[in-house]
């Protein structure tokens, strides 16, 4: 036990029975601290990764919904209200919502008490968002805990963390005696065998296939060897690709004729069971492929248990296995694995000496010792706050982030069948009489790509839909004229040979977005082929809106393929054309590209703004911002709520504008354009304009009626003068979801007024960094 004056200690992280390494660590650390601080109340705030709750033990007192920003604010209020002395955050990329896990910063900024953050990963080469999130974590944390010396060095050199803010504390381990493995083998049916063990949640970065490839060379010298692979497949892997990796390993074992020397135990086991598995092992094998891994609980457990370890040179292994505590082998090298395993099995004296070194080193890593080190870190954090008190955050309603509706894809799925997205609906029921159109399927495909940046659940829900919308565009393309057909009857007959320029522009926009952003190789390959085939025809377009969609398509495509010559040329020509249209029609009282405002109006300044930003052309940006400013004033009479241009007559120059029917596509176009203006200029006025346009969907409109269906995630087809159009068709539903997703992504990026850089917004005229490798 440790003597401390702490009365309330809260940890934040995943928690058992959720199956992941962070959950195991947080659970063990919480119990260890509670065991060492008998007079303190120790509890956990757990992060949930799915809609229904886990059956947590009483130690969990509050739950956060991973992707709901408001949930993080509620957690902060809970912690503040309960007068917690210190908060210990377990940070890992991928467990918090928001861009690069930025939702957690919303919570930290609201806390009144000291924060000690355990960093389970410190990236050597972060992207811009990951870097900014980590820098904010460093700023908002009173102490930083790392479990590898390399992580401390990188925090200082890469993220500018003060050295005196960092505490090195070992990964905790259970305290087990140094024992003969033969004592544990009989319950597994392995008495008299030499046992190799790899354990932990299975995923492809474990590199187990290289251990299996090494097995024939090991069995040749030691035929009594059994290789145990213990652990369930990681839940995220199961959701995305099922048990493909495990099946691949089993097939490899059969191919190598070692199936009688290998055991797969596909279970997530308790700590008590895991200790028995480790106890039975003569050699523990970790052929991991991610060499930048900063910490491994499995590796820590085996060293602490006094096991002979063979591991690839991940950073954590290089530290933990130094000075004779284990053996390092090159990654992806079965022959090296076999050589070292055979050597250890041959040399029992050396193996025993290695085990003793490891077990002795592990005594400082036992959970009671680790818990005491954390308590000392807590006390240092509290002492710092006494010297430099935290400003108590008080936010009035206008300072709180805008709360958004919950993302639901129910109605979108209902409108989507094996062909694609149905065009219309009667009330909430798909109306097959009107079939499908390329316009709607293109918009829906863009939506699915944006959803890839959300958490696992949304990505998986959108995965199948993306394939269907892509297939629709593939079928819509007419190679005879290089154009996309637009309208298809429900019995799958095309009703035209070529759609109008605008629908072709939308199709190209969707394809450019997939090619430039998606992380799905099969979709990117198809999109790239269609994009390049269609662009040559699209370069002749003269509809300003079609040109705007083509410019957006090019912008997205160049995220990944910046050197594409035709895209660069078409962008220059079309941007010049849009600017010429603007100069031809502009006057002091009419700052627009045409002599009328019709539909999707904000797409024109949006496209020109993107092009100006990337071409380094201030004249394009000035025209874009001037026209967007004029449009925003036209659509917000007297600075009030958003009033889109009505579709019954639109707005012709010198005539009276139509106020109805109002449609969601106008609100979405304004949301998207204003968010881009905010990202590029940093002017918060534009974010406010985007928010006001979005609120048209939620009831801030002429009729004070909600236009979206909270129960299904669908959206009504618009506002008439006296009522809401009760039909929930494809266009209205998709544009609402696009507006919601773009707002959500922006609110993940805009953290209490701090602007993070989204991928795709570096210095004007400089090529974007790739969004990531595909395949």
Average pLDDT across the chain, whole number: 91
User: So what's the pLDDT on residue 711?
Assistant: 84
Distance, in Å, from the CA atom of 123 to the CA atom of 264, rounded to the nearest integer, reads: 32
Nearest to 735 by CA among 391, 412, 464: 412
For tokens 């990329």, name the residue.
Answer: 93
Q: What is the DSSP string of 472-536?
A: HHHHHEETTTTEE--EE-TTS-BS-SS--HHHHHHHHHHHHHHHHH---HHHHHHHHHHHHHHHH
Distance, in Å, from the CA atom of 486 to the CA atom of 640, rounded to the nearest integer, reads: 37
In which band, very low, low, confident or very high, does the pLDDT at 389 lie, cut at 50, 70 and 90?
confident
Q: What is the mean pLDDT of residues 455-480?
A: 85
Residue 675 has pLDDT above 60, yes or no: yes
Burial (Cβ within 10 Å: 0-12, 13-18, ≥19) of residue 265: middle
**Rounded to 5°, angle at Cα 530 from 608 and 494:** 105
52 compared with 145, residue with greater pLDDT: 145
Listed range (43-52, 338-347, 619-628, 672-681) with the worst mean pLDDT: 43-52
Residue 131 has pLDDT above 90, yes or no: yes
Percent share of the chain, pLDDT over 90: 81
pLDDT digit string, tens, across residues 8-39: 999 999 999 998 899 999 999 999 999 999 98
CB of 215 closer than 8 Å to CB of 262: yes
Residue 419 has pLDDT above 90, yes or no: yes
Q: What is the mean pLDDT of residues 170-186?
A: 95
User: So what's the pLDDT on residue 333?
Assistant: 97
Q: What is the mean pLDDT of residues 462-490?
A: 94
User: So what's the pLDDT on residue 70?
Assistant: 83
User: So what's the pLDDT on residue 397?
Assistant: 47
Q: What is the mean pLDDT of residues 341-359?
A: 96
Listed range (163-172, 221-230, 369-378, 450-459) with the worst mean pLDDT: 450-459
In which band, very low, low, confident or very high, does the pLDDT at 403 lie, cut at 50, 70 and 90?
confident
Beta bridge partners of residue 167, listed in sequence order: 145
Beta bridge partners of residue 195, listed in sequence order: 226
pLDDT digit string, tens, across residues 192-249: 999 999 999 899 999 999 999 999 999 999 999 999 999 999 887 887 788 999 999 9
Please report which helix (H) or strand (E) contains residue 149, including its range. helix 149-159
Listed range (246-250, 405-409, 595-599, 691-695) with the worst mean pLDDT: 405-409
Close Cβ partners of 169 (under 8 Å, ≥ 6 residues apart): 118, 145, 146, 147, 370, 373, 374, 377
User: So what's the pLDDT on residue 226?
Assistant: 97
468 compared with 460, residue with greater pLDDT: 468
24 to each of 12, 231, 362, how far by Cα in Å? Answer: 13, 13, 19
Residue 108 has pLDDT above 50, yes or no: yes
Distance, in Å, from the CA atom of 687 to the CA atom of 701, rounded to the nearest integer, reads: 18
pLDDT digit string, tens, across residues 300-322: 999 999 999 999 999 999 999 99
User: So what's the pLDDT on residue 641?
Assistant: 95
User: So what's the pLDDT on residue 459?
Assistant: 63
Nearest to 471 by CA among 416, 432, 552: 416
In which band, very low, low, confident or very high, does the pLDDT at 519 lie, cut at 50, 70 and 90?
confident
User: So what's the pLDDT on residue 405?
Assistant: 86
In which band, very low, low, confident or very high, does the pLDDT at 393 lie, cut at 50, 70 and 90?
low
């Amino acid at each position: 036990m440790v003597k401390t004056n702490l009365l309330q200690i809260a940890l934040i992280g995943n928690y058992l029975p959720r199956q992941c390494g962070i959950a195991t660590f947080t659970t063990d650390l919480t119990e260890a601290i509670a065991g060492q601080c008998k007079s303190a109340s120790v509890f956990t705030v757990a992060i949930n990764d799915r809609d229904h709750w886990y059956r947590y033990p009483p130690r969990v007192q509050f739950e956060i919904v991973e992707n709901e920003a408001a949930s993080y604010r509620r957690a902060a209020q809970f912690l503040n209200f309960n007068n917690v002395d210190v908060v210990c955050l377990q940070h890992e990329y991928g467990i918090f919502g928001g861009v690069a896990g930025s939702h957690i910063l919303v919570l930290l900024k609201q806390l009144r008490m000291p924060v000690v953050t355990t960093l389970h990963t410190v990236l050597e080469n972060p992207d811009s968002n990951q870097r900014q999130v980590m820098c904010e974590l460093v700023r908002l944390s009173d102490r930083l805990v790392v479990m590898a010396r390399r992580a401390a060095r990188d925090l200082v050199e890469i993220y500018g963390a003060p050295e005196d803010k960092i505490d090195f504390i070992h990964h905790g381990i259970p305290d087990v005696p140094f024992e003969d493995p033969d004592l544990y083998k009989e319950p597994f049916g392995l008495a008299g065998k030499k046992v190799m063990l790899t354990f932990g949640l299975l995923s492809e970065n474990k590199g187990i296939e290289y251990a299996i490839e090494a097995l024939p060379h090991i069995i040749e010298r030691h035929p009594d060897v059994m290789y145990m692979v213990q652990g369930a497949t990681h839940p995220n892997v199961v959701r995305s690709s099922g048990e493909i990796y495990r099946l691949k390993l089993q097939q490899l074992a059969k191919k190598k004729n070692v199936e009688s020397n290998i055991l797969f135990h596909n279970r997530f086991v308790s700590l008590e069971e895991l200790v028995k598995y480790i106890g039975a092992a003569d050699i523990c094998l970790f052929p991991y492929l991610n060499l930048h891994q900063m910490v491994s609980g499995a590796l820590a457990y085996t060293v602490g248990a006094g096991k002979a370890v063979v591991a690839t040179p991940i950073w954590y292994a290089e530290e933990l296995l130094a000075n004779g505590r284990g053996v390092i082998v090159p990654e992806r090298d079965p022959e090296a694995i076999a050589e070292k395993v055979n050597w250890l099995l041959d040399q029992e004296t050396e193996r025993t000496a290695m085990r003793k070194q490891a077990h002795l080193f592990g005594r400082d890593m036992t959970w009671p010792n680790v818990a005491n080190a954390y308590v000392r870190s807590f006390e240092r954090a509290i002492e710092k706050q006494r010297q430099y008190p935290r400003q108590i955050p008080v936010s009035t309603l206008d300072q709180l982030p805008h709360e958004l509706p919950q993302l639901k894809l129910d109605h979108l799925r209902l409108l989507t069948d094996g062909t694609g997205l149905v065009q219309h609906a009667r009330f909430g029921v798909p109306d097959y009489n009107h079939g499908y159109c390329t316009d709607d399927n293109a918009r829906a495909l863009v939506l699915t790509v944006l959803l890839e940046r959300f958490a696992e659940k949304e990505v998986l829900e959108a995965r199948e839909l993306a394939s269907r919308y892509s297939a629709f565009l593939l079928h819509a393309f007419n190679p005879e004229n290089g154009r996309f057909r637009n309208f298809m009857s429900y019995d799958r007959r095309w009703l035209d040979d070529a759609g109008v320029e605008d629908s072709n522009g939308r199709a190209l926009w969707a394809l450019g977005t997939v090619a430039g952003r998606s992380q799905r190789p099969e979709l990117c390959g198809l999109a790239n082929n269609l994009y390049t085939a269609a662009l040559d025809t699209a370069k002749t377009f003269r509809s300003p809106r079609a040109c705007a969609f083509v410019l957006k398509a090019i912008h997205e495509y160049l995220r990944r393929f910046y050197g594409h010559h035709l895209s660069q040329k078409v962008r220059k020509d079309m941007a010049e054309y849009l600017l010429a249209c603007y100069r031809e029609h502009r006057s002091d009282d009419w700052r627009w590209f045409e002599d009328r405002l019709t539909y999707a109006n904000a797409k024109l300044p949006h496209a020109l703004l993107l092009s100006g930003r990337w071409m380094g052309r201030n004249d394009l940006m000035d025209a874009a911002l001037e026209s967007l400013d004029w449009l925003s004033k036209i659509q917000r009479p007297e600075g009030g709520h958003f009033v889109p241009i009505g579709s019954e007559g639109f707005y012709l120059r010198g005539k009276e504008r139509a106020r109805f029917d109002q449609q969601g596509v106008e609100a979405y176009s304004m949301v998207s354009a204003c968010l881009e203006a905010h990202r590029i200029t940093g002017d918060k006025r534009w974010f406010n304009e985007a928010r006001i346009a979005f609120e048209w969907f939620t009831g801030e409109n002429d009729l004070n009626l909600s236009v979206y269906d909270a129960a299904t995630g669908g959206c009504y087809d618009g506002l008439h003068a006296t009522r809401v159009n009760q039909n929930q068709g494809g266009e209205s539903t998709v544009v609402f979801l696009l507006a919601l997703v773009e707002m959500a992504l922006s609110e993940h990026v805009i953290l209490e007024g701090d602007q993070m850089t989204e991928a795709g917004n570096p210095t004007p005229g400089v090529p974007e960094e790739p969004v990531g490798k595909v395949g």
